[in-house]
Chains A and B, each alone.
Chain A
Amino acid sequence: MAVTVNGVEHVREVEPRLLLVHLLRDELGLTGTHWGCDTSNCGACTVWMDGVPVKSCTVLAAMAHGREVRTVEGLETPFGLDQVQVSFMACHGLQCGFCTPGMLMTARWLLDRNPDPSEAEVREAIAGQTCRCTGYENIVRAVRHAAAAEREQAS
């Protein structure tokens, strides 16, 4: 199979039963994507496939053949961290960091579509993602902080 991850094409022989999350972590060494519940509930494994966030523990690697995947490693650019990463640090949007890669991928997707989300909209966007540490308050704050920062940069 051939899949483009963060702009780089990878060709691998894989078993059809290999899950995308394990292709990313074990075959490609992209361990930023976390693997938590295995039951499609926690969202730690969220990556983008063809521009849309999906839970990579519930996608076969073979299903990603010919598609573009973006993981948390693909957020950073040569100019530095993505604004959502900066804001998660600034607002203490993480403690242990286990949920963070998934949260960041969903947050980036939300802000690309809605540059000024309300608190309720942020909470809805991350409804499929579980954080055992922060109580979500600082995650929501971080996403809205990133939104405000990006609006300011744009003006």
Chain B
Amino acid sequence: MQVPAHFEYERATSLEHAVALLTRYGPEARVVAGGHSLIPMMKLRLAQPEVLVDLNDLTELAGIRIEGDELRIGALTRHAELLGSAVAGEHYPILHDAERVIADPVVRNRGTVGGSVCQADPSEDLSGVFTALRATAVIQGADGPRRVPMRQFFTGPYETAVGPAEVLVELRVPLRPGGGSAYVKVDRRAGDWAVAAAAAALWLRPGPGGTPVVADAGSGSPPSAPGTSRPPRPRSTCAAAPPTRSRSPRRARSPRSTAGPSPTSAGRSTTSATSPAS
């Protein structure tokens, strides 16, 4: 029987309360959201926090909405909610592509979007997605909120920019016209963790004579090694060029070349890295 080591349990009643509890208890305190990464790690004693601060009552961290030109996804949004969100899927099909292959429906009922990116597991699916979409993380600390671009969010496997007395509030995805996106994961069984994965997003704009050209492209992969979630810089072969079948997938190859463990799985994940739509 796997049982976590002893710890104290506190339930936060507001975002400020959560930050105050983390500040009071110090670095041995951890927040718990869905608990579907942290509790298994505590059972295996891979994590032994002295205090758990439960975020599940913080409705202000939940939900998906559009505000201005951003899609805002609260940290406490459950995977099932993101998968079921029409507005998210309409703007960025990549969000549904990825959610569909995360774990199973019962796990998705409980696990959260914020917990996923904060866990920064090397096989985790959403990190690469939000990196490709050029999302920004809003992080709350005692001094108020700060914003960190996803490209700087992951500092390594299981390591993020969120400090010990901070809470991830939401992820903001810029809404830009002419975007398309997709996610491809290689796994051994349905619902399993990724062996390799690639996320890609592409934005087109009208070019000379109305021919669409690539305005921007983003890619990402799980935070397996420092730097691998960072999309490569737009290259002249892609940015400002008309999209072609030979050009677009090249954008997605870069992160995979460092993250893909075998030629077979890397090969299988090339399929349709980009699907410019809308």
Which residues of A are at the interface with B, using a C-beta cutoff of 8 A? 15-17, 19, 38-40, 43, 46, 52-55, 58-60, 62-63, 65, 106, 124-125, 127-129
Contacts and interface: CB of A to CB of B under 8 A. Distances in A.
A124 B6 CA distance: 36
Contact of A52 (B8, B9, B11, B109): B109
Contacts of B25: none
Contacts of B213: none
A128 B106 CA distance: 6
B103 interface: yes
Contacts of B107: 40, 55, 128
B177 interface: no
Contacts of B40: 39-40, 58
B6 A15 contact: yes
B106 A16 contact: no
A60 B6 contact: no
B106 A38 contact: no
Contact of B56 (A16, A53, A63, A124): A63
Contacts of B11: 62, 65
A128 B107 CA distance: 7
Given A62-B11, A128-B191, 17 more contacts: A16-B7, A17-B3, A17-B4, A17-B6, A17-B42, A38-B43, A39-B40, A46-B106, A55-B106, A58-B39, A58-B110, A60-B39, A60-B52, A63-B56, A127-B191, A128-B106, A129-B106
Nearest to A55: B106
Interface of B: 1-9, 11, 32, 35-36, 39-40, 42-43, 52, 54, 56, 103-107, 109-110, 190-191
Top 10 A-B pairs, shortest CB-CB distance: A128-B104, A16-B9, A128-B106, A127-B104, A17-B4, A62-B9, A38-B2, A52-B109, A54-B110, A53-B106
B1 A38 contact: yes
7 contacts: A16-B6, A17-B5, A40-B40, A58-B39, A62-B54, A127-B190, A129-B106
B101 to A, nearest CB: 11
A29 B109 CA distance: 26
Contacts of B5: 17
B11 to A, nearest CB: 7
A58 B103 CA distance: 14
A128 B3 contact: no
A43 B109 CA distance: 13
B229 to A, nearest CB: 25
Nearest to A61: B9
Contacts of B191: 127-128
A60 B9 CA distance: 10
A52 B56 CA distance: 14
Contact of B103 (A39, A65, A124, A128): A128
A63 B52 CA distance: 11
A40 B105 CA distance: 12
B106 A59 contact: no
Contacts of A106: 105-106
A52 B108 CA distance: 11
A52 B107 CA distance: 11
A28 B264 CA distance: 51
Contacts of B190: 127
Nearest to A110: B105
A54 B80 CA distance: 12
Q: Which of B3, B7, B104 has the most CB of A within 10 A?
A: B104
A40 B107 CA distance: 8
Nearest to A106: B106
A99 B127 CA distance: 33
Contacts of A16: 6-9, 52
A60 B6 CA distance: 12
